[in-house]
Amino acid sequence: MLSYRHAFHAGNHADVLKHFVLVQLLEYFNQKDKPYWYIDTHAGAGCYSLDEAFARKNAEFEDGVGRLLGRKDVPKELKSYLKLVRDLNESGKLRLYPGSPCCAAPLLREEDRMRLFELHPADRRLLQKTFDEAGSKAIVLEQDGFTGINAFLPPPTRRALVLIDPPYEIKTDYRTVLAALKECLRRFATGTYVVWYPKLHSMQSRELPDKLKRLPITSWLHVSLDVRKPSDDGFGMHGSGLFVINPPWTLPATLKKVMPYLVSVLGLDDGATFTLEAEMP
């Protein structure tokens, strides 16, 4: 259950999509003065060394964020996300990659708060070390984020961005995501929730977006990025997706512009494509 280490995948195509959209959402939240909370149910280690064995094993970042850095034709909407990566790598060489908490932290303001859940002991220790000096602004909890999140909903400010991105190593994660979201929406229906999922051959992966659409919600957006054709043997992740509940009205237009660019830069074969659909009042 605790075998997953995101360091193997740091900076890959799925991270590019997830963290680019996360930055877009946080920048939208920052347009209002009222404080908000950022809650991450599976926070990981926070920041990842791309020089270490975990990341070097498959070097997935080389076909992910590594393909974007240094390009001259990057859409302006991607630049804030790429700046976060560059700011971690002052030498100019890509050696560190910011996980979701370290993408969020530089964008949070003085009155905003982070609550970060991580069950893996080694990753939790690394995450705690990263945020040791943050005080009450960022609290790291060694708890199951699926259930621990309930203690913070609704947040005192009545504004929150919640990221739910389990590894889906166990098949029950798909059901647990749906159950957790039902409870989150019961407690705090107006929050913005982001669900990440891998695009796999499995039926659970393929059915998840439609099941999410059937939740008691009126505003949602679904975006996915395939970087290659599904493999003949049915193994491996050929893409990933995000399902956003209560998205900002600006997000569909941003993604409509950026997703074709990501397909062209990150695509590995002629199976590269994207999906974008939304229902907004």
Task: For residues 105 and 195, give the distance between their C-alpha atoms in angstroms, rounded to a whole number.
Answer: 19
Q: Is the pLDDT of residue 1 over 70?
A: no
pLDDT in tens, 237-258: 999 999 999 999 999 999 999 9
- For residue 85, give both structure tokens: 């990566």
Residue 53's pLDDT band (boundaries 50, 70, 90)?
Answer: low
Q: What is the mean pLDDT of residues 255-266?
A: 98
Q: Which CATH superfamily is domain 18-46+111-279 in?
A: Vaccinia Virus protein VP39 (3.40.50.150)
165 has catalytic annotation:
yes
What pLDDT does 136 receive?
77
CB 139 within 8 Å of CB 130: no
pLDDT in tens, 121-168: 999 999 999 998 777 799 999 999 999 999 999 999 999 999 999 999
Q: What are phi and psi of 183, to 5 degrees?
A: -70, -40
Catalytic-labelled residue, pool 40, 165, 173, 226: 165
Q: Is the pLDDT of residue 4 over 50?
A: no
If you average pLDDT over each of 116-125, 225-234, 258-267, which comes out highest? 258-267
Give the H or E element holding residue 280.
none
What pLDDT does 233 receive?
79
Name the pTM for this structure: 0.95
Buried b (16+ CB within 10 A) or exposed e, 196-228: bbbbbeeebbeebbeebeeeebebbbbbbbbbb
| Residues across the chain | 281
Q: Is the pLDDT of residue 267 over 60?
A: yes
Give the H or E element holding residue 277.
strand 273-279
- For residue 249, give both structure tokens: 């009205």
- For residue 281, give both structure tokens: 């009042």
What pLDDT does 135 receive?
74
CB 11 within 8 Å of CB 236: no
Provide the mean pLDDT of the chain. Answer: 93
Domain range summary for the chain, segments of one domain joined by +: 18-46+111-279
SS3 201: coil
